Structure 1
């Protein structure tokens, strides 16, 4: 028997932020079963948790593949563990393919402790520029994604990528960012992942492991307010500390169920 929850992450309101499924396992499952459940949930990420040592093993699956790092589904997982009284720890350890991750209670918010994933400036492949369809100020790449800075917030918000072309770019995804025109935020972004079955991700924690170091250098500040300008939208607190990125946000549970097909 496995319980599964749907949580809207990086928001304090239901039906906003980024929805993730969180599946609590009592015994390990085969990879194909995990992938089938993620395909059935058809959300950008489904997190699978299994108790391990003094924490939880965590794995993340899109509807089509497993990924090595996911922020919003980790935040959703910590939210469920505390909300369902499955953990009485102030700090939860998650053991993942990207190493040790942590989630801490911080008032009414949750703060994730993630690795920084800084980009390196690079030449943009023609398919990347064609797929984005706008002029760029900067292009960089880390082990996951391309990072593109454009001239202003209006360009970010108005982007209409060619997803068929973007899906040909050999990368997990493409992050597009600019300075924010609002005093409430330091920068905004959008993130596209057609190659792994997600056209646009509503709010992407792992993308901010790249955006945090990037904007820290540009703005010379270590504490940043970020907004991901997808249709659902979501806000993140981003705090840099050396090689770690701390991502703060809230979460709301919207569904609870039991998986009947084992």
Structure 2
């Protein structure tokens, strides 16, 4: 079985969000995949197996299997198109979150990801204490999403990760509108429940942020 390390959401190495990609001929056991993810100690390890007309994709963090991961899907698509199917311009992945499509346009890869339905929650003192700043709004789907007005507040947050871990939601997404034309928003992802203080870039987090 070959394994690759791909830096997603970046145009050069040692930037973006790294993911390991394994392309076995048949599925390893769940215990083996978790052991590989723990050995890698990367945010995610993707396992992709070609079955029938499609690729089947699973993601493992060092703490266990996850239901959706954006950057590891992008990394898997890159590895497949680079090393397994260089002629492919479209990949369909069968996953725990349903079918996911990745399209290649030259050197660029485009993900088609699901939209989470958000429910608004009360802004509590517990959330404020965990983040060290009071968000304007709080929403929840898979993750907890905290909305701030000022992007500088988002960038300067120093959350108490033990308190973040005690909150609802798989991950903590924090975001604010961008200040100019270069970015629509700024965002950060805190992931202590997955064994990560902060995820460098979270693709599935934007399945929450973009609908908002």
TM > 0.5 fold call:
yes
Native 8 Å contact 1:127 1:168 kept in 2: no
Give the Cα separation in 2 of the matches to 1:25 and 1:72: 19
Who is 1:80 aligned against? 79
5 Å-filtered alignment, 1:188-203, equals 188-203=186-201
Matches of residues 34-49 of structure 1 in structure 2 within 5 Å? Answer: 34-49=33-48
1:204 aligns to 2:202 (yes or no): yes
CA distance in 2, matches of 1:129, 1:135: 5
Which residue of 2 is the match for residue 93 of structure 1? 92
* More off after superposition, 157-166 vs 179-188: 179-188
1:16-48, CA deviations, whole angstroms, 9 ceiling, x for partnerless residues? 100000011111111111000000000110000
> Contact between 1:171 and 1:195, CA under 8 Å: does it hold in 2?
no
Could you give the per-residue CA deviations for residues 58-90 of structure 1, whole angstroms, max 9, x where no partner exists?
111111111100000000000011111435321
**Correspondence for 2:166:** 168
Could you tell me whether the CA contact under 8 Å between 2:123 and 2:136 is conserved in 1?
no
Aligned to 1:26: 25
In 2, the alpha carbon distance for the partners of 1:27 and 1:182 equals 48
> Offset at 1:201?
0.4
In the alignment, structure 1 segments of 5+ residues that lack a partner are 215-262
1:102 aligns with 2:82: no
State the distance in 2 between where 1:152 and 1:23 align: 40
| Partner Cα separation in structure 2 for residue 51 and residue 125 of structure 1 | 46
CA distance in 1 between counterparts of 2:167 and 2:183 reads 30
Moved over 6 A (4+): none
Question: Does the 8 A contact of 1:48 with 1:60 survive in 2?
Answer: yes
- The offset of 1:169, in angstroms, is 1.6
Aligned counterpart, 2:6: 7
Give the number of the structure with larger relative contact order, counting CA–CA contacts within 8 Å between residues 6 or more apart: 1
Would you tell me which structure has more strand in proportion to its own residues?
1
Structure 2 stretches lacking a partner, 5+ long: none
Q: Could you say what the CA RMSD is over the residues aligned between the two structures, in angstroms?
A: 1.2
Task: Give, in whole Å, the separation in 2 of the partners of 1:198 and 1:52.
Answer: 32
Q: Could you report, residue by residue, the CA deviation over 1:155-177 in whole angstroms, capped at 9, with x for unpaired residues?
A: 01000010011111232111000
